[in-house]
């Protein structure tokens, strides 16, 4: 697919859950294999990607080996990449290792008519999300300081109900405060999140909130308790126009997920 002229092409990859070794599996799934496969699919499907966003849970084993694996993949690709933490990540380690010319944890990136703001919704030692007072102040500062830029806000945890009870217990605790702040800024166009391992696409007035599939296993939509789905791993592509409009596309592997085990009690 060719990128329209004057637009930005942003690739969102989420919930990679990379493990300590390339052969290791989580719930029976080789997460590194599927990350590589989804990345390859996105790069062969879309021309001229300007930025890759990794929206949390980069690692299931938050150790140097996991993050170094991602650094090596991104070095091969050579496209600028921004990372933010999920509940499974070690953000301090991410900031140390994911820190070179190609890949970083930079929280604000200005590109053409847009700014991309990356937030940290992690609560140390917990699975749920929260935007701290400091993080909310940072968001407000970014929006105040770039009043002419359209904003894409990326965060790991979800801010709208998915209607999966077990998942919604982990939603951003102060999501109404978060959405209230964003909606004060007309140029804040989009919130994108990970964590939910499924697609979501909602609109509140003119603000769009989009959830992404995982690059490994997917969660069963509308499930009261933890449940896995056989839907294939995927990515989200966003095309951002100079006037603040956008289009989006979710791509998924043609191959079925191999190895997925029956689990009922989480991961």
116 to each of 5, 40, 137, 206, how far by Cα in Å?
A: 19, 24, 16, 18
Query: Minimum distance from CB of 159 to Fe ion (Å)?
Result: 16
Q: Name the minimum Å distance from CB 6 to Fe ion.
A: 34
Can you say whether the dihedral through the CA atoms of 92, 96, 102, 108 is positive or negative?
positive
Q: State which residue, 36 or 146, has the beta carbon closest to Fe ion.
A: 36
142 or 170: CB nearest Fe ion: 170
**Which residue, 15 or 61, has its beta carbon nearer to Fe ion?**
15
Nearer residue to Fe ion within complex by CB, 45 or 223 = 223
- Burial label, 112 (beta-carbon count in 10 A; 0-12, 13-18, 19+): middle
> How many residues sit in the footprint of Fe ion (CB under 5 A)?
2
Question: Can you tell me the distance from the alpha carbon of 247 to that of 239, in angstroms, rounded to the nearest whole number?
Answer: 5
Q: Which of positions 183-202 make contact with Fe ion (CB under 5 A)?
A: none
Pairwise CA distance, residues 15 & 100, whole Å: 21
Min dist CB 214 to Fe ion, Å, is 6
Residue 260, SS3? coil
Task: List binders of Fe ion among 148-177 (CB under 5 A).
Answer: none
CB 60 to Fe ion: min, Å? 8
Q: Is the CB of 15 or the CB of 50 nearer to Fe ion?
A: 15
Residue 238, Cβ neighbours under 10 Å: how many?
23
Listed residue (114, 106, 126, 191) closest to 155, CA to CA? 191
Q: How many CB atoms lie within 10 A of CB 64?
A: 15
174-191 burial, b at 16+ Cβ within 10 Å, e below that, comes to bbeebbebbeebeebbbb
How are beta strands 188-193 and 200-204 bridged, if at all?
A: unpaired
Q: Enumerate residues 115-144 that contact Fe ion by CB under 5 A.
A: none
Q: Which is nearer to Fe ion, 114 or 235 (CB)?
A: 235
CB of 1 to Fe ion, least distance (A): 27
57 vs 135, beta carbon nearer Fe ion: 57
CB of 3 to Fe ion, least distance (A): 29
Q: Residue 218 CB, nearest distance to Fe ion (Å)?
A: 10
Judge residue 13's burial from the number of C-beta atoms within 10 Å of its C-beta, 0-12 exposed, 13-18 middle, 19 or more buried. buried
Q: Which of 15, 50, 61, 90 binds Fe ion (CB under 5 A)?
A: 15
Sites for Fe ion among residues 47-106 (CB under 5 A): 57
Q: Which residues sit at the interface with Fe ion, rule CB under 5 A? A: 15, 57
């Amino acid at each position: 697919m060719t990128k329209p002229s004057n637009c930005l092409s942003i690739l969102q990859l989420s919930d990679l859950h990379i493990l300590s070794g390339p052969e290791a599996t989580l719930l029976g799934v080789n997460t590194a294999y599927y990350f590589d496969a989804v990345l390859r699919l996105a790069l062969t499907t879309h021309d001229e990607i300007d930025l890759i966003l990794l929206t949390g849970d980069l690692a299931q084993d938050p150790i140097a080996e996991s993050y170094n694996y991602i650094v090596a993949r991104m070095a091969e690709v050579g496209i600028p990449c921004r990372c933010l933490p999920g509940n499974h990540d070690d953000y301090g380690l991410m900031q140390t290792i994911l820190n070179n010319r190609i890949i970083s944890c930079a929280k604000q990136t200005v590109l053409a008519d847009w700014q991309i703001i990356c937030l940290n919704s992690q609560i140390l030692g917990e699975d749920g999300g929260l935007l701290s007072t400091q993080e909310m102040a940072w968001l407000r500062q970014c929006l105040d300081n770039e009043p002419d830029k359209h904003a894409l806000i990326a965060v790991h945890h979800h801010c709208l109900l998915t209607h999966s009870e077990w998942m919604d217990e982990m939603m951003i605790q102060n999501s109404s405060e978060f959405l209230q702040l964003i909606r004060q800024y007309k140029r804040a166009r989009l919130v994108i999140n990970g964590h939910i391992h499924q697609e979501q696409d909602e609109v509140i007035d003119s603000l769009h909130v989009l959830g992404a599939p995982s690059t490994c296993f997917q969660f069963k939509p509308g499930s009261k308790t933890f449940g896995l789905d056989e839907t294939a791993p995927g990515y989200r592509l966003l095309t951002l126009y100079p006037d603040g409009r956008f289009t989006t596309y979710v791509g998924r592997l043609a191959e079925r997920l191999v190895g997925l085990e029956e689990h009922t009690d989480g991961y």
